[in-house]
Amino acid sequence: MKKNVLLLLTACMCLLCSAYAAADTVSLTAVVPGEHIVSFTIREHGSVQYGGQIFSGTASIPVQRFGSAEIIIVPDAGYKLDTVTVSSGEYLACDGTAVTVFGIAEDMFVQLSFTESEIRWGEPVYEWSADNTSVTATCTALNDPRIVKTETAAVTGTVLREPTCTALGVTLYTAVFEDPLFTAQNREIENIAMVPHCPVTDPAVPATCAEEGLTEGSHCAVCGAVLVPQELVAKTSDHQYAMDPAVPASCETPGLTSGFHCELCGEVFVAQSVIPALGHAWGEADYLWDDDHSKVTGSVVCTRDPSHTVSETVAARKIILSPTEDQAGLLEWVSDAFASDMFTVQEKNIAAIPALGTLRVLRLPDSLTEIGEEAFAGGSFEAVIIPESCRIISDRAFGNCVHLIYVKVPAGTSIAPGAFAECPNVIIDIVAE
């Protein structure tokens, strides 16, 4: 544009020079426009305002030569000015909300484009319906008041506090929104009608010769309010005598003599005396042996009360008095001592062992060290003397010796479990070396 102006000035100067050369009376007048056109191309999502009019798409605005004009930018909701392109940048200023053209010496072209803007939301506003059945939430963008979000949510009600006879019940109303921009809203309202009182009878209290009584009344079990007040009843003047029966003493429990008292005031006229406990009267001790004689149980019964008994069980040990050639022996069980002094050590004779001189005796040699399996099985002897040299008695070494009564075995000899199988009457006497 500046180039066109310069060409125009040069042409005018040439004409002037020619005119002066031809005649001094020739003149030339240059016509300069009084205004220029500013053309706008406005991309989608926006428009401009000038002179009270809104322009979108394309617009042409006349501007006085060397003058200025302010064009207001009007973006669509949610958009902002992105770029401004001009044909002559030095004739335009832009602050994001307006484009100002000034000092215009030629026509010019301006192109505006818009882009989406980030929305900054303000605080939501919530409005409850009059009947508390819905809540409408509204939120306006801080950077563009034309952008408004709204959502109406249905309300659900739950009983937060049951009503009583003195207070209304409370309903909790809640509205939940789908849009995360809005938060759930709650409202508590006392709107559940009170319930009637729950009467409970206050029982009458009979008067006594010592204390006043009360008439029957009632109150509310929920709030405690008195519905029918109780009235005082004056004391009575006569005692009501009652007998306190005697209680016989037992072995362990003291007894009582008979007495008298007043049933109304509790005053005692004849006090009961304590009869000391009688104590146990234990009978003779009885003893019961286990079948294998390894234990014995002593027991005593109280002659005053057979349900009172004392028993104690102790272990017993087997004792063998070894026979000699001319003197008989003995097999017996003897109990351990009892802890209670009501019981004594018990002895039980099991069997007498004839003198060896009266028996058929198998005396084994002193050089013998082992008796093999069934070595003397089925023998008819009645007694066996095992030498101290023997260390092993094998299985069934004396099996089926039905006549065998007595066997003397050194303490260090190993005896197989079935060494004396089928010997029904044998007594094995293990003697220390």
The pLDDT of 331-340, averaged and rounded, is 93
**What type of residue is 204?**
A
**Mean of the per-residue pLDDT values of the chain:** 87
Question: How do residues 46-82 score in pLDDT, each as one tens digit?
Answer: 899 988 889 988 888 888 888 888 899 999 888 989 8
Q: How many residues does the chain have?
A: 433
- 51 phi-psi bin (left φ>0, alpha ψ -120 to 50, beta other): left
Measure the CA–CA gap between 33 and 43, rounded to whole angstroms: 30
Task: Report the SS3 class of residue 123.
Answer: coil
Question: How do residues 29-50 score in pLDDT, each as one tens digit?
Answer: 556 778 888 888 998 888 999 8
Residue 151 backbone phi and psi in degrees, to 5: -150, 135
pLDDT class of 177 with cuts at 50, 70, 90: very high
Q: Are 409 and 415 in contact (CB under 8 A)?
A: yes
The predicted structure's pLDDT at residue 51: 83
The predicted structure's pLDDT at residue 90: 61
Residue 263 backbone phi and psi in degrees, to 5: -70, -25
Q: How far apart are the first and last CA of the chain?
A: 147
Measure the CA–CA gap between 384 and 393, rounded to whole angstroms: 12
- Among 413, 412, 418, residue whose Cα is nearest residue 398: 418
The residues, any chain, with a CB within 8 Å of residue 48's CB and separated by 6 or more, are 40, 42, 54, 55, 56, 59, 71, 72, 73, 74, 99, 112
The pLDDT of 99-121, averaged and rounded, is 86
Radius of gyration of the chain (CA): 65
Measure the CA–CA gap between 11 and 376, rounded to whole angstroms: 166
For residue 84, the surrounding DSSP H or E stretch is strand 79-86
Q: Are 132 and 188 in contact (CB under 8 A)?
A: no
**What type of residue is 144?**
D
Burial of 393 (0-12, 13-18, 19+ CB in 10 A): buried
Q: Are 350 and 337 in contact (CB under 8 A)?
A: no
Query: 75-84, 87-96, 112-121, 137-146: which range is least confident on average?
Result: 87-96
* Helix/strand number for the chain, H first, E second: 1, 36
